[in-house]
A and B are shown apart, each in its own frame.
Chain A
Amino acid sequence: MVTRALALALTASTLCIRPALADPLQIQVTSVRAAESGPSDPQLVSLRPRLRRLVGYRAFQVVNQEVRSCDWRSEARFALPGGRHLQLLPKGADDDVVNMQVRLLEGRRRLVDTNVRVVSGGTMMFGVGRDPRIGDSALIILLKADMK
């Protein structure tokens, strides 16, 4: 009985202290193929000027998009084209900034291993370029983390 009460109090205090972490984190991973020429996906029209400035390519097509609720402090894996994966570990949040570990994997090889803090609702990108398997194009991965 005492143990149950203590556990309940602990849970309640945790919820009170970290209300932002009570809800799972909404993660959106979008894989985009960037090419020198060709049509662009209507879904990316608003992003295209920014992508052009950042990436240098001119045409962008969404290859795959996945939106998933991820639990805090629990690893989540998103499949990407070319046998790659994006592995995320949301560690915590401070105000509206999400702290997470992000790994871009190719098989078991870590292409990128980083700890980032992203503004909730904001988007960060990863790019894999000059890859013979995808010809003259590059793979752009848009990662969006949303606490709402």
Chain B
Amino acid sequence: MTCGEVGTLLDAFVDTELPSATLLEVARHAGHCAPCERAVQDLLAVREAVVADVDRATEGMDFSGVWSRVEAAIDRSEGQARWRQRSDAKRGRLPRSIPVWGSIAAIAAGAALYVRPIGQVATTNPTPSAVRVASKRLPNHVYIDRLAGKDIALRREAKSGTTIIWVNHEVEGSGW
């Protein structure tokens, strides 16, 4: 594998989205090629910085009041529609249908109002119970910085991040 080929695969390599055989080829190349190794390290650093930023941002969000506000917005919207129906009935007009888009807009407005940093919520609710929705680092996630060996296959489970490095494994025969 050449540096050029590795260059086109680096993003997918860092995100472990490549098939295990290709992943291994890139890792082997990077193990012997200083510029590619540097590129991998740089990308890993960027990736970690982004993950850390996203984690920090989402940890500061409070979703605890979203659904109660959404329900309140729906109630309010339905209440207004009922009032209009009664009012129309009194005046002898045909009742207007409840606008679906109005409910959707009310839901969106409710969600937008309450998906915001805890600091702002604290002014209206002194003890907000933050619900953490950020996806944390997988419990068994492994960063492989260098890998050397013969007849190696690499596999990672997406759910837990568990990684296995196989030796002497028949890649073709086992369907890996």
Q: Interface residues, chain A, CB within 8 Å of chain B?
A: 50, 53-56, 97, 104, 110-119, 121-131, 140
Pick from B144, B149, B150, B157: contact of A53, CB under 8 Å: B157
CB of B18 within 8 Å of the partner chain:
no
Is the beta-carbon distance between B148 and A113 smaller than 8 angstroms? Answer: yes
Which residues of chain B have C-beta atoms less than 8 A from A140's C-beta? Answer: 164
CA distance A86 to B174 in the complex (A): 25
Is the beta-carbon distance between A129 and B140 smaller than 8 angstroms? Answer: no
Pick from B145, B149, B159: contact of A117, CB under 8 Å: B145
Whole-angstrom distance between the Cβ of A38 and the nearest chain B Cβ: 19
Is the beta-carbon distance between A56 and B141 smaller than 8 angstroms? Answer: no
CB of B86 within 8 Å of the partner chain:
no
Encode B130-147 as 1/0 by CB contact (under 8 A) with A. 000000011111111111
Is the beta-carbon distance between B165 and A123 smaller than 8 angstroms? Answer: no
Is the beta-carbon distance between B146 and A115 smaller than 8 angstroms? Answer: yes
Whole-angstrom distance between the Cβ of A48 and the nearest chain B Cβ: 13
Whole-angstrom distance between the Cβ of A112 and the nearest chain B Cβ: 4
Given A54-B164, A116-B143, A124-B140, 6 other A-B residues pairs in contact with their CB atoms under 8 A: A55-B164, A110-B148, A118-B143, A119-B142, A121-B139, A124-B164
Given contacts A112-B149, A128-B167, A119 and B137 within 8 Å (CB-CB): yes
CB of B169 within 8 Å of the partner chain:
yes
B144-164: which residues lie under 8 A (CB-CB) from chain A? 144-150, 152, 155, 157, 159-164
Given contacts A50-B162, A54-B162, A117-B143, A126 and B148 within 8 Å (CB-CB): no
CA distance A56 to B137 in the complex (A): 25
Pick from B141, B144, B152, B157: contact of A119, CB under 8 Å: B141
Is the beta-carbon distance between A118 and B168 smaller than 8 angstroms? Answer: no
Which residues of chain B have C-beta atoms less than 8 A from A56's C-beta? Answer: 174
Whole-angstrom distance between the Cβ of B43 and the nearest chain A Cβ: 15
23 A-B pairs, CB-CB below 8 angstroms?
Answer: A50-B160, A54-B157, A56-B174, A104-B165, A111-B149, A111-B150, A111-B167, A111-B168, A112-B147, A112-B167, A113-B148, A114-B146, A117-B142, A117-B143, A118-B143, A122-B139, A127-B165, A127-B167, A127-B169, A129-B166, A129-B168, A129-B169, A131-B168
CA distance A128 to B166 in the complex (A): 6
Closest to A125 in B: B164
CB of B75 within 8 Å of the partner chain:
no
Which residues of chain B have C-beta atoms less than 8 A from A97's C-beta? Answer: 143
CB of B170 within 8 Å of the partner chain:
yes
Which residues of chain B have C-beta atoms less than 8 A from A53's C-beta? Answer: 157
Which residues of chain B have C-beta atoms less than 8 A from A128's C-beta? Answer: 166-168
Which residues of chain B have C-beta atoms less than 8 A from A118's C-beta? Answer: 140-143
Pick from A119, A121, A122, A126: contact of B165, CB under 8 Å: A126
